Structures are given as structure tokens and as C-alpha cells.
Amino acid sequence: MNCEMSETRMRILQLLKMRNSMTVNQLTDALNISSMGIRQHLSILEGEGLVEFHQEKQERGRPHYIYSLTDEANTLFPTTYANFAVGLMQEVAKVNGPGFINKVFRNRMKSQLKMYQERLQGKNIVERIKELAHIRDEEGYMARFDENDTDYVLIEHNCPIAAIAEAYPHVCEIELALFRQSLGTKVYRVEHLMQGSHRCCYRIPKAECMKQDSKSAEMNK
């Protein structure tokens, strides 16, 4: 992001990226700053073309103003030169055929799998999911771990390879296979940036994790 931008405004942009949209009150609670201060920062961001808002009517009282990022703001987040990569792959495909690109993706997955498994080795399933979230966060996916009563959840708020995924959707399926093989359990994608969601969200059933841990315990006896 722009190093000249204030830390508070950068944090507002990060929160809007992660939560898709927020009200002034929600931002106030999250940042522990006065609502007047939040509005001043939002006004500056709006003037820079990075934030937009719409009104949401309430049954009672004044309408809420809901703030979200503009398309321009999304370009501030990591992209790892994806547009260049897409152009390069298109040129490679002209020479070697479109099937060659999928082969490249699969070979890349094998390299990632080896690295992921080295970092996940010796950990139980919960630790593996948390470490996977940490790895993905390091790679620019703004990833985090969560859980509910039935599932562990891996959430990614950013996609550094969005341009590649749009041009070559198969890379998303390879990525899902990477998660399954890395964790050694079932993983389901329940939200997808490429299908209109504001994030990618993966569900890992706790029941399946218990089965895998039981199998591992039996094998280690």
C-alpha cells in the first residue's frame, strides 16, 4: 500500500477488505477511534476514490451508511504481478498448447505441497489448519483461521492470483486439491471470490478431522 497513507486509513482499508462492508459505528468499535475521526478518514479515502458508500434503510431512525472498497482500492492489495504472469502464460500456451499451462499448475502444486507438508509435519489437525492459514497469509491471501460447532474454517480475504484465476479457472481446483492433500482430510470451498463472493472460505468438517486423527493414532501404535 501507499507508504504515505496514514496507518489509520490503511487499517480502515484492510478492515473493509476483510469484512466487505462496514458502518461508521463498526469501524469505531474496531479501531477505538471517535466516530468523527472515522468520518474524517472516510472522507479523505472517498476523495481519493478508494471508498464508496450506500444508504441502508432502517425500520426506525436514520438510514445507515454502509462503506466498502472501490475497484481502485482493491488494486492496493498484493497481486504478485498477476497481470504480467497471465500475459506470459498466454504466450507460452501459443507455443506449447493450452494443456501445457495445466501441467505447469500441477507441477507448481507439487512444489507447494512439499513445502506445505514440511511446515505441517508433526502437528495435529487443528495445528495444521492454523499453520496453513499462516502460510497463506504470508503468501498475500490475508488468511485467517476460524471455527464453529461443526467445522474448522480457513478464510482468505485476498487473492494475489485473481487475474490468473480469471484467465485459468482450473488453478482454483488445483489449489483446493493442494489444501486437501496438505491437511490429509476433506476440505470444501463454500465461498469463492471467482463466483462473486468477497472472499474464499473453506470448510473442514470436525467429524472428518476426528476420523483422520484416530487413524493416525492407530498407525502410530
**Which tens digit of pLDDT belongs to each residue from 78-130?**
655 666 777 888 888 888 887 888 888 899 999 999 999 999 999 999 999 99
**Lowest pLDDT segment from 100-104, 187-191, 215-219:** 215-219
Q: Cell 474448522 belongs to which residue?
A: 152
Predicted local confidence at residue 186, as pLDDT: 95
Question: How is the chain split into domains, by residue range?
Answer: 7-74, 82-219
Please answer whether residues 50 and 13 qualify as being in contact, where contact means their C-beta atoms are separated by less than 8 angstroms.
yes
Predicted local confidence at residue 2, as pLDDT: 47
Give the helix/strand (H/E) hosting 19.
helix 7-19
**Lowest pLDDT segment from 73-82, 133-142, 158-167, 197-206:** 73-82
**Lowest pLDDT segment from 4-8, 17-21, 81-85:** 81-85
Set of cell numbers at residue 53: 458508500
Set of cell numbers at residue 97: 498448447
**pLDDT reading at 1 higher than 50:** no
CATH number of this structure's domain 7-74: 1.10.10.10
Do strands 143-147 and 64-69 pair parallel, antiparallel, or not at all (unpaired)?
A: unpaired
Q: Look at 59 and 161; give whichever has higher pLDDT.
A: 161
Q: What pTM value is reported for the model?
A: 0.72
Predicted local confidence at residue 134, as pLDDT: 97
Q: Cell 489448519 belongs to which residue?
A: 129
**pLDDT reading at 43 higher than 90:** yes
Predicted local confidence at residue 3, as pLDDT: 42
Q: Cell 492407530 belongs to which residue?
A: 218
Please answer whether residues 174 and 105 qualify as being in contact, where contact means their C-beta atoms are separated by less than 8 angstroms.
yes
CATH number of this structure's domain 82-219: 3.30.1380
Cβ neighbours for 76, distance < 8 A, ≥ 6 positions apart: 1, 2, 13, 50
